[in-house]
Amino acid sequence: MVNPKYLFGILSLALLTSLSGEKQLIAQSPKADETKTAMPNPSEHFMRIRKDSRGRDVALETSVTRYELINEEGNRITVDLIGAVHIGEKEYFEKLNERFEQYESLLYELVAPEGTVIPKGGGREEGIPTNPIAAMQVGMKTALGLEFQLEHIDYTKDNFVHADMSPAEFSASMAANDESVVKYGLRAIGQSMAMQSSGQGGSNIGLLMGMFSNNKELRMRRSFAKQIKDMESGMVMFQGKDGSTIIDHRNAKCMEVLKEEIAKGKRNIAIFYGAGHLPDMQQRLISDFKMKRGGQDWYEAWALSDRGKTKTEPKK
């Protein structure tokens, strides 16, 4: 018999993956092409599925991508964009914690009032969550056998700098930009149904089949990794009259904090945000800060293979 908590996880994943096809339609929109400079596909440049020599999925990986410049005083300034998925292997978050120690400032995302302190372990209470998004995250964690980011990233470190909107700023931006969660939900459902009927959309059959697999977690990860990679690159769907609050306006706030940190004399900085934010951030670093893209490392977020656990050391 299928565990009820696991069944809820399956339903959560099925609901979330129904949004992933949106990005294909948005990418064809003339308005999107007119307002944004064409950028690399983030699923190729900030998140990827690594395969073995036989083309089998081995791991879902996120990147650390470097940008740098020499300022007028001759000082070298580096900014690393560190992509994230919000549920992952415990070892993945531990490796990121180690990486974070090398930066003078680590700018992070969290829609929260200024001064909010995230305790070690995330402060998450046990039991059934009443928030629907939190409930969905619990379902995903259960189905995939992964861990929450907030439970394992140590936000108490001195170099961590909040670089996101407050709830009041977020709400005001949404209202001014004619955005709402309801509009996004209806748009995503409608576009997903259109793509399914045209044969372009993805299928949730793999998710349902995972319920009856001998290795449920691994089967689910393989199926969902392909979907989440597209979901991260499809964040462009959240658009209002002037870009989107979720991506554009929050990223703009982060860039303001970045300018402040550079003005303070910080030279070695990182930005830790969801991978879906990074294409727009890359564009801002190149166009507004006149930075050049440098090297890139990759970290394994999810193991997708049962042929021996792969190491989570960064890969070039």
Q: Could you state, in order of their start, the residue ranges of all structural domains in the chain?
A: 4-303
Which residues does 256 contact at the CB level (< 8 Å), separation at least 6?
none
Choose the weakest-confidence range: 34-43, 109-118, 257-266, 298-307. 34-43
Residue range 236-264: mean pLDDT, rounded: 85
Check whether 46 has a pLDDT greater than 50: yes
Average per-residue pLDDT in the chain?
A: 75
Q: What is the pLDDT of residue 40?
A: 47
> In angstroms, how far is CA 184 from the centroid of its own chain?
18
Residue range 47-54: mean pLDDT, rounded: 90
**Which of residues 64 and 44 earns the better pLDDT score?**
64
Choose the weakest-confidence range: 141-150, 153-162, 231-240. 231-240
Confidence bin at 246 (pLDDT 50/70/90): confident
Q: What is the pLDDT of residue 138?
A: 66
Of the chain, the percentage scoring pLDDT greater than 90 comes to 39
pLDDT tens sequence across 158-210? 999 999 999 999 889 988 988 876 666 555 555 555 545 555 444 454 444 44
Q: What is the pLDDT of residue 293?
A: 95
Between CA 124 and CA 264 the distance in angstroms is 34
pLDDT tens sequence across 171-180? 899 889 888 7
Nearest partner of 164 among 277, 38, 67, judged by Cα: 277
Q: What is the pLDDT of residue 101?
A: 97
Check whether 25 has a pLDDT greater than 50: no
Check whether 304 has a pLDDT greater than 50: yes
> Per the structure block, which two tokens stand in for 181?
């969660």
Amino acid at 294: G
**Do the Cβ atoms of 191 and 11 come closer than 8 Å?**
no
Q: What is the pLDDT of residue 183?
A: 62
User: Element (H or E) spanning 250, and its range?
Assistant: helix 250-263
pLDDT tens sequence across 70-118? 998 999 999 999 998 888 999 999 999 999 999 999 999 999 898 888 8
Check whether 279 has a pLDDT greater than 70: yes
Between CA 63 and CA 85 the distance in angstroms is 11
